Amino acid sequence: MTKMPGKFTRIAIANRGEVAVRIIKACEELGIETVLLHSEADINSRAFRMATKSICIGPAPTAESYLNIAANIDGALAGGAQAIHPGFGFLSENADFAEAVTKAGLTFIGPSADSIRSLGDKVHCKELAKKAGLPLVPGYQGENQAVANLIQEAERIGYPVIVKAAAGGGGRGMKLIKSSDEAAELIESAQREAQSAFGSPKVFLEKYLDRAKHIEFQVFGDSTGNVIHFFDRECSVQRRHQKIIEEATSPSLSEDLRRKMGEAACAIATLGKYKGAGTVEFLLQDGEFYLLEVNTRLQVEHPVTEEVLGVDLVKMQILTAQGEYIHDPKLIRVPRGHSIECRIYAENPYMGGVPSTGLLGLVEWPEGPGRRYEYGFDSGDTITPFYDPMIAKVIVWDENRPRAIQKMIRVLKDSVVFGVHTNIPYLIEILSHKEFVMGTMTTRFIETYFADPIKEPELTEAEKKIAAAALAQARGVQTAGAVANTSPWASYWRGI
């Protein structure tokens, strides 16, 4: 029998930004101290200021800090932690890391290394699902990785075909092959990218479903290994295979379809002997659903599930790792209302989304009922070029989907991010589009309607004066109503 670790008094966090802040807050509610394992670039970040203790584990490049297994474990031990929470991204789905943490005498807050290997490897996961009779997208997951063989398999499947990294995620190592003319070049490119990003060149092929919706189910295995699901999310709004807007529950599922997909999600997680929070992702097209992959970690979009169900998934993860969380069959959870999440990125929406780095002169999130913010930066912090440019997640809840959409648009318009460009105007246009409002968007929504950069609005003279005055105040400069019509900061006002 596996020995339970007992209650934690201090947890190390192997992550950064809003992820680390989210975990610190959950630990504070449980009376647990935290050790932030951070890079040199994140000294004096919001998480740095909030954590009980902070330990620098290396320079800014992720390979030398956040992806360095030994440095993370050494930091956790030096900080007196009994467990490590990996958050999401970085090492969160790395079975070797989970195994190394355990060998070091620490508890990995997440699924076991065996579960990560079983379900996190996309090829192995599909083989497991196939044995269980779950529906899969037609494709090829074989061991023969010769380019000539992969081209032959792509021809058999029929174009368009997607080539994906077997150990991948987040859209990296993923290429859409539309014809035989480009097959060799794109397969070789995907293999190189997979090797660089995940340490393995192995890829697999799938038929590209061009009218699909992206639906996922939040699964959770408790301390006894009993798996249930916490309903669904829809994440069809994606750019370059990365999600932009997520919502719970999906507007696309009938109750019968929701029941069938939920049962399939629990079946694959149970086969993987899953404990803790995970996500089973599906593609849905013409009323048929297909298993896409399993993410063996907490998802960026987990707050929308928390909002409609009134649960705290991070606290549940910690309690499960302590051996304390058991699903209560008497507690029947039913989704209430509707929740939407938008990811706020430091990027220029008028130039196709190029990253926008620099000093955040002023950041303000408007408070109010049904509004929630997950953020890792305060006024005066700096967006560096070293990491993902996500500044925050904005989450809203309301009684139904139309009201939630309108609330999100209002919240985005009232949010203040001064100093860098943000994608807020881009998000508002998406939320206002008739297909999104109707809930009929597919994974090609962005490609179809937002392929080109959005048009930058002209600022009024009054807005230019406000921007110039705010800039001067942020810099501590004495001004007397100066107007800087040519100031590059002028168009950064509120990020719109």
Handedness of CA 118, 124, 127, 129 (dihedral sign): positive
In degrees rounded to 5, what are phi and psi of residue 455?
A: -80, 135
SS3 state at 491: helix
CA 360 to CA 375: how far, in whole Å?
13
Q: Which amino acid is at 180?
A: S
**Cβ atoms within 10 Å of 195's Cβ, excluding its own:** 16
Taking a C-beta distance cutoff of 8 angstroms, is the pair 213, 198 a contact?
A: no
CA 111 to CA 116: how far, in whole Å?
7
List the one residue out of 407, 237, 421, 423 whose CA is nearest residue 344: 423
DSSP label of 41: G
List the one residue out of 126, 121, 73, 71 whose CA is nearest residue 95: 121
**25-32 CB contacts, 8 Å cutoff, 24+ apart:** 26/312, 26/314, 26/315, 26/318, 27/318, 29/312, 29/315, 30/315, 30/318, 30/319, 32/8, 32/318
Helix (H) or strand (E) holding 130: helix 122-131
> Does the annotation mark 297 as catalytic?
yes
Active-site annotation holder among 22, 239, 297, 343 = 297
CA 119 to CA 135: how far, in whole Å?
16
Taking a C-beta distance cutoff of 8 angstroms, is the pair 84, 107 a contact?
A: yes
CA 402 to CA 404: how far, in whole Å?
5
Handedness of CA 313, 315, 318, 319 (dihedral sign): negative
| Orientation of helix 401-414 relative to helix 424-432, angle to 10° | 160
Rounded to 10 degrees, the C-alpha dihedral 438/442/447/449 comes to: -10
Helix (H) or strand (E) holding 432: helix 424-432
Q: Which amino acid is at 192?
A: R
Report the catalytic residues. Answer: 297
